[in-house]
């Protein structure tokens, strides 16, 4: 076999090419992309941008709510109020974990609004939904003059109830209670003043977090404080008037294991609330 001859290279491979200073640089798109993609297959840069956008929208929505609350207190019309902001409210919740506090608060909202409510069952719900849940909106007694449309959807929502309004999403029963109160019934929340609202927040957090997920000692501590407060007054807020603190605490205790072991004043309070026309109407 004859040997092949070799040819000298025409171009030196170690020549450095100087690029014009005015050109912009981009990173190598042929490298390892695994580090820039999340488990769902979405580029991290895109998911981070989406997360930041959602945070900004949530902050803007909260600011918008506070402005409208202040405008109502000062009797000032805003562009949002003139366009019937927060008129359409959609709530999605699992029938296996009924957010009774949200139902109660919506009943209080309906007292101030001409509420048109409808209820649906999503196809994601496998088991039959009881009649009392499918028709719970029939118990709302609208008596206000401001229009409002409520759409309730029983749906497989494993992470808790979700409220959707004005392109905003609010998750969790406690957050939904605060949002609805600020938007529709702030007399039950922040209109009592900063100190009173902070006190209400304590009872909401105790109901939604400590009583729901806390240990035995933490629950006992909350019930002890609750018993002491109810020994002095009929409602939880320092003002001695109905607030969303009563709504949240009643929903957390009624029908739970803590109800049977609750201190005397708490049991009496639960009994009085059950005999109340509105609270008793939503003992589902």
Ordered by start, the domain boundaries in the chain are 54-184, 190-281
DSSP 124-167: T--SPPPHHHHTGGGG-----SEEEEEEEEE---TT--EEEETT
Give the CA dihedral 105, 219, 156, 111, nearest 10 degrees: 0
74-126 per-position pLDDT tens digit: 766 655 444 444 478 999 999 999 999 999 999 999 888 888 899 999 999 98
Query: What's this model's pTM, rounded to 2 decimal places?
Result: 0.69
Please name which of 241, 239, 262, 265 lies closest in space to residue 252, comparing C-alpha atoms.
Answer: 262
* Tokens found for residue 171: 């998750």
Q: Which CATH number fits domain 190-281: 3.30.830.10, 3.60.70.12, 1.20.1050.130, 2.70.98.20?
A: 1.20.1050.130
Strand 88-93 to 162-165 pairing:
antiparallel
Residue 82 pLDDT: 45
Question: Fold match between 54-184 and 190-281?
Answer: yes
Residue 84 pLDDT: 44
Residue 111 pLDDT: 86
147-190 per-position pLDDT tens digit: 888 999 999 998 899 999 877 899 999 999 999 999 899 999 98
What's the CATH number for 54-184? Answer: 1.20.1050.130
The per-residue pLDDT of the chain, averaged, comes to 83
């Amino acid at each position: 076999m004859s040997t092949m001859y070799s040819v000298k290279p025409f171009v030196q491979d170690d020549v450095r090419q100087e690029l014009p200073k005015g050109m912009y640089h981009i990173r190598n798109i042929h490298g390892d992309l695994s580090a820039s993609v999340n488990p769902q297959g979405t580029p991290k840069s895109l998911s981070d941008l989406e997360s930041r956008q959602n945070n900004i929208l949530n902050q803007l929505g909260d600011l918008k709510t506070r402005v409208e609350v202040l405008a109502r207190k000062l009797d000032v019309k805003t562009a949002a109020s003139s366009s019937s902001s927060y008129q359409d409210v959609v709530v999605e919740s699992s029938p296996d974990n009924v957010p009774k506090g949200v139902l109660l608060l919506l009943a209080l909202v309906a007292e101030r609004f001409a509420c048109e409510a409808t209820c649906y069952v999503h196809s994601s719900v496998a088991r039959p939904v009881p009649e009392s849940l499918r028709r719970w909106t029939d118990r709302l007694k609208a008596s206000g003059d401001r229009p409002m449309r409520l759409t309730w959807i029983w749906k497989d929502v494993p992470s808790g109830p979700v409220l959707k309004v004005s392109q905003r999403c609010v998750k969790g029963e406690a957050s939904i209670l605060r949002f609805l109160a600020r938007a529709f019934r702030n007399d039950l929340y922040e209109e009592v003043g900063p100190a009173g609202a902070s006190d209400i927040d304590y009872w909401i957090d105790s109901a939604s977090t400590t009583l729901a997920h806390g240990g035995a000692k933490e629950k006992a501590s909350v019930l002890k404080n609750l018993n002491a407060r109810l020994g002095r007054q009929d409602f939880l807020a320092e003002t001695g008037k109905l607030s969303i603190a009563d709504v949240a605490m009643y929903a957390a205790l009624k029908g739970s294991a803590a109800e049977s072991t609750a201190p005397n004043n708490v049991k009496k309070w639960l009994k009085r609330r059950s005999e109340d026309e509105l609270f008793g109407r939503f003992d589902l």
